[in-house]
A and B are shown apart, each in its own frame.
Chain A
């Protein structure tokens, strides 16, 4: 501690940071978008700036960097939802973006398993189910890594993802899943 970084250390840090950004930025952006963050690109930038400040203290390899990156992103999501709870964001109502409405026959005919559809399905999940599912599928984390990010036990995350999958399947088939 207190050691002055040498130019080679800086170069190594830059290389690690560049590799982390190239590898993880799309998943971080998708994770934040799936959580309904207002400005996901700007938040992605914030996440990586925070990562850069801690990168020299992450001793491990790519898995540890990914866990740290999504821990930071998870904290941003939690902050975002808390802020929204305290001060609800006033936006004009747009019926097309309301997930509660029933699609028209025309929309049902055109809609397939597209991007809009899958994000609408995921957004219908509860917060923790959605978090568990996104960390596993979008971030590509293991059960243990997801449990570490969510600060839960492995068993609890396993139960959350099981419920999330059941709810997704039921939503896709048109029947609500009650758990």
Chain B
């Protein structure tokens, strides 16, 4: 509004009068300070107001339902897929192995065994503090096989029942995996 007042004063060549300028700004402020409520007839002609909070709540509900659904699908897929379980276990072993190696000062030169010989089996021979669900005995397994299976070399995996177990060696291909 000050632009309009300044333009008016410039047109009248009265730009050097701050008192008059203040008076005109005050006139605009005082005259437009009251917002009249529309009558019922005017209200009926206007666009109805949108109910924003309700829309927002509904949007939040939809988002929450989608998130829960996606989480459920992800958990189901992870639990049902041996590949996923195997990959997760391998990733876990790689990370924990690297951490433990770093802690005890392990370097590649410390490995005096055969080239590529795994170092993890000796560590995995100790009971895992976090037995996974895959350590449950299978139909053909003997009770108490979990820790043993964890250190079992790969050939035993091919006989089934162990591919889902954490192993030190990379398991065979996906084709060797036990079906859920």
Note all chain A residues with C-beta closer than 8 A to B11: 143, 158, 161-162
A33, A137, A166 — which one has the most chain B CB atoms within 10 A of its CB? A137
Per-position contact with B for A113-124: 1 when CB-CB < 8 Å, else 0? 111001101100
- The reply to whether A136 and B47 form a contact with Cβ atoms under 8 Å apart is no
Enumerate chain B interface residues (CB-CB to A < 8 A): 1, 4-5, 8-9, 11-12, 14, 17, 19-20, 22-24, 26-28, 30-36, 38-39, 41-42, 45-47
Contact of A49 among B24, B26, B32, B42 (CB under 8 A): B42
Q: Does A150 contact B (CB under 8 A)?
A: no
Q: A41-B36, A49-B42 are in contact. Are A168 and B28 (CB under 8 A)?
A: no
Q: Report the nearest B residue to A34, measured CB to CB.
A: B31
Note all chain A residues with C-beta closer than 8 A to B1: 140
CA of A32 to CA of B26, assembled, Å: 17
Note all chain B residues with C-beta closer than 8 A to A29: 34-36
**A interface majority secondary structure:** helix
CA of A118 to CA of B33, assembled, Å: 14
Interface size class of A (residues with CB under 8 A): 35 or more
Note all chain B residues with C-beta closer than 8 A to A27: 31-32
CA of A21 to CA of B45, assembled, Å: 11
- The reply to whether A140 and B4 form a contact with Cβ atoms under 8 Å apart is yes
Q: Report the nearest B residue to A30, measured CB to CB.
A: B31
CA of A45 to CA of B1, assembled, Å: 25
Q: A137-B4, A165-B12 are in contact. Are A17 and B46 (CB under 8 A)?
A: yes
CA of A26 to CA of B47, assembled, Å: 19
CB distance from A34 to the nearest CB of B (A): 6
CA of A132 to CA of B75, assembled, Å: 74
CA of A96 to CA of B5, assembled, Å: 31
Q: Report the nearest A residue to B17, measured CB to CB.
A: A169
CA of A138 to CA of B12, assembled, Å: 17
CB distance from A150 to the nearest CB of B (A): 15
Note all chain A residues with C-beta closer than 8 A to B4: 136-137, 140
